[in-house]
């Protein structure tokens, strides 16, 4: 059945900025930057060599599409580590020189979220394409400013929502797109681990951003309202455990649980439809995606539930094969193809803006002890 529907799968469309804060990807125009092939690897400058930067550097260093010319970081120790690993790369504390280097094509930003806006703005103003770690920025106003700046300059602004490039998540999108699940009913996800506690963002902005990007990519939908609750646990002053419920313009509903206070690492999601249900477990290396032919349906049985004849249906479980390549490898290949004008951006700045708008609504709801907050205009 999966093979039969594969020719109906459409590649995710790119997206363009809207007048409002939030617009479904379905009604966006494709984000395409027309560029002539340059016949050489793209010259890259990496800013940040802390938690995520080393992963980007490792992939850039072995990529045929990129030449990692610069690594910048405020820490002398981390720069020394970078010099040891990548001897031909110029290592700097201040990235300013990299912005003015005419050889640099793209800047990759892997720094604390509170620094994203200024670094991305500076790079775009110097004519550089940008790939920035999640979240895009810490508010929708600055996120929209970056989206508009990139559009004016004809530059790529891509957001590193890495899970979108995993084979498992792409398989989820395929199952939804070809109708395997039927009408979507609900999404439930848990993403917990012990740390890493962030100083400038809470657990929703740190962890839930992944589930939001997965949900947006898989369903091509955005919520209309959010309810969020949580608590800050010492020694962290940030919200370290939080729960988010997302409401849509129909019966579909989503729930996301996050925490930095778990002794075990869990990355598990359930997406249920009227026909079938799928479980995605990022930690289950052998069977990350499991498709269940199960559900609740009308029955001729005498068992009555609220005046309706219903029965449960438990069928087979199928674990489809998924692409096991590292997500960053796939993402950088895609970025290079976009820079050459061969592909449309899967996660443009507009997608990052959407996620920021949802997180802003969640923050407002947290401040209101869980009262639902509308997602949309910045004044919502």
Residue with tokens 């980007």: 56
Residues 154 and 186 in one domain: no
Residue 156 lies in a domain: yes
Residue 270: partners with Cβ closer than 8 Å, 6 or more residues away: 186, 187, 188, 189, 277, 278, 279, 280
Digit-coded pLDDT (tens) for 119-128: 999 999 999 9
Number of domains in the chain: 2
The verdict on 178 and 103 lying in the same domain is: no
C-alpha 178/C-alpha 216 separation (Å) is 16
The CA-CA-CA angle for residues 248, 290, 227, to 5°, reads 25
Give pLDDT, residue 299: 65
Tokens of residue 216, six digits = 């947006």
Query: What sign has the CA pseudo-torsion 117, 118, 121, 123?
Result: negative
Reported as a single tens digit per residue, the pLDDT across 291-300 is 999 887 766 6
Query: Is residue 75, in this structure, part of any structural domain at all?
Result: yes
Same domain, 143 and 17: yes
Q: Let me know: does 113 contact 52? Beta carbons within 8 Å.
A: no
Of 77, 75, 67, nearest to 46 by C-alpha is 67
| pLDDT confidence bin for 311, thresholds 50/70/90 | confident
Is 135 among the domain residues? yes
> Angle, nearest 10°, between helix axes 140-153 and 116-125?
10
- Looking at residue 196, what is its pLDDT? 86
Rg (CA), the chain: 21
CATH number (domain holding residue 156): 3.40.50.720
Instruction: Say if residue 341 is in the same domain as residue 271.
Output: no
CA distance between the termini of the chain = 43
Q: What is the pTM of this model?
A: 0.86
In terms of residue numbers, what domain contains 41? 12-163+327-348
pLDDT digits (tens, 9 = 90+) for 247-286: 999 999 999 999 999 999 999 999 999 999 999 999 999 9
Q: Which residue has the tokens 């990235």?
A: 95
Cβ neighbourhood burial of 255 (10 Å; 0-12, 13-18, 19+): middle
Rounded to whole angstroms, how far apart are CA atoms 16 and 35? 17
Q: Which helix (H) or strand (E) holds 338?
A: helix 327-339
- Average confidence (pLDDT) over 303-322: 77
The pLDDT value recorded for residue 280 is 98
pLDDT digits (tens, 9 = 90+) for 158-201: 999 999 999 999 999 999 999 999 999 999 999 999 988 888 89
Strands (E), 151-218: 157-160, 184-194
- What does 38-94 look like in DSSP terms, one character per residue? -SSPEEEEEE--SSSHHHHHHHHHH-SSEEEEEEE-S-HHHHHHHHHH-TTSEEES-
pLDDT for 3: 43
Residue 5: inside a domain:
no
User: Rounded to whole angstroms, how far apart are CA atoms 292 and 315?
Assistant: 7
Task: Tell me: do 39 and 154 sit in the same domain.
Answer: yes
Q: Is residue 269 assigned to a domain?
A: yes
The strand order across the sheet containing 261-273 reads 304-305, 308-318, 289-298, 277-281, 261-273, 184-194, 253-259, 241-247, 225-231, 373-374
Asked, as a colleague might, if the bond just before 135 is cis with ω within 30 of 0, I would say yes
- The predicted pLDDT at position 380 comes to 39
Confidence band (pLDDT; 50, 70, 90) for 243? very high
| SS3 category, 90 | strand
Segment 302-317 mean pLDDT: 70
Q: For residue 306, what pLDDT is reported?
A: 60
* 333 and 287 co-located in one domain: no
pLDDT of residue 37: 52
pLDDT at residue 314, as a whole number? 81
**Residue 226 · residue 373 · CB < 8 Å:** yes
202-211, 228-237, 371-380: least confident range = 371-380
Number of Cβ within 10 Å of residue 310's Cβ equals 13
pLDDT band at 25 (very low <50, low <70, confident <90, very high): very low
Both 223 and 304 in one domain: the answer is: yes
Residue 154 and residue 229 in one domain: no
Which residue shows structure tokens 């690897």?
A: 41
Any idea what the CATH number is for the domain that residue 196 is in? 3.30.360.10
Q: Is 7 part of any domain?
A: no
pLDDT band at residue 154 using 50, 70 and 90 as cut-offs = very high
Residues 181 and 318 in one domain: yes
Give per-residue pLDDT as tens, 323-372: 999 999 999 999 999 999 999 999 999 999 999 999 999 999 999 999 99
pLDDT tens, 203-223?
999 999 999 999 999 999 999
- At 100, list the tokens: 């003015």
Domain assignment of residue 355, yes or no: no
Same structural domain, 146 and 175: no
Q: What's the rounded Cα separation, in Å, for the pair 44 and 65?
A: 10
Claim to verify: residue 266 and residue 308 sit in the same structural domain: yes
In terms of domains, do 318 and 344 share one?
no
pLDDT band at 26 (very low <50, low <70, confident <90, very high): very low
Q: Does residue 314 contact residue 331 with C-beta atoms inside 8 Å?
A: no
Do the domain assignments include residue 297? yes
């Amino acid at each position: 059945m999966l093979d039969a529907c594969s020719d109906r799968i459409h590649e995710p469309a790119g997206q363009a900025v809207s007048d409002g804060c939030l617009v479904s990807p379905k009604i966006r125009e494709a984000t395409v930057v027309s560029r002539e092939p340059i016949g050489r690897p793209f010259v890259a400058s990496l800013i940040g060599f802390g938690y995520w930067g080393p992963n980007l550097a490792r992939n850039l260093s072995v990529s045929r599409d990129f030449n990692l010319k610069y690594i910048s970081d405020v820490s002398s120790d981390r720069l020394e580590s970078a010099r040891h690993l990548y001897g031909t790369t110029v290592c700097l504390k201040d990235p300013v020189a990299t912005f003015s280097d005419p050889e640099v094509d793209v800047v990759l930003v892997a720094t604390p979220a509170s620094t994203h806006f200024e670094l991305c703005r500076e790079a775009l103003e110097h004519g550089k394409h940008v790939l920035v770690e999640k979240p895009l920025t810490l508010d929708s106003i600055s996120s929209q400013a970056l989206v508009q700046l990139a559009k004016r300059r004809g530059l790529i602004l891509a957001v590193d929502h890495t899970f979108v490039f995993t084979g498992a998540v792409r398989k989820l999108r395929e199952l939804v797109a070809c109708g395997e699940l039927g009408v979507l009913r609900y999404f439930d996800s848990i993403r917990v681990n012990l740390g890493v506690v962030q100083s400038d963002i809470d657990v929703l902005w740190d962890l839930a951003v992944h589930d939001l990007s997965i949900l947006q990519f898989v369903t091509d939908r955005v919520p209309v309202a959010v309810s969020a609750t949580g608590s800050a646990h010492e020694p962290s002053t940030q919200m370290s455990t939080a729960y988010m419920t997302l409401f849509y313009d129909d019966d579909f509903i989503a729930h996301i649980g996050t925490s930095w206070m778990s002794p075990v690492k869990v990355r598990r999601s359930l997406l249920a439809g009227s026909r079938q249900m799928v479980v995605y477990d990022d930690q289950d290396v052998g069977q990350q995606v499991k498709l269940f032919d199960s559900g609740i349906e009308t029955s001729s049985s005498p068992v009555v539930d609220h005046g309706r004849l219903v029965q449960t249906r438990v069928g087979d479980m199928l674990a489809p094969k998924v692409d096991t390549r590292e997500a960053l490898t796939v993402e950088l290949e895609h970025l290079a193809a976009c820079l050459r004008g061969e592909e449309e951006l899967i996660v443009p700045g507009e997608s990052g803006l959407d996620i920021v708008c949802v997180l802003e609504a969640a923050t407002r709801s947290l401040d209101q002890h869980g009262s639902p907050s509308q997602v949309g205009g910045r004044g919502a």
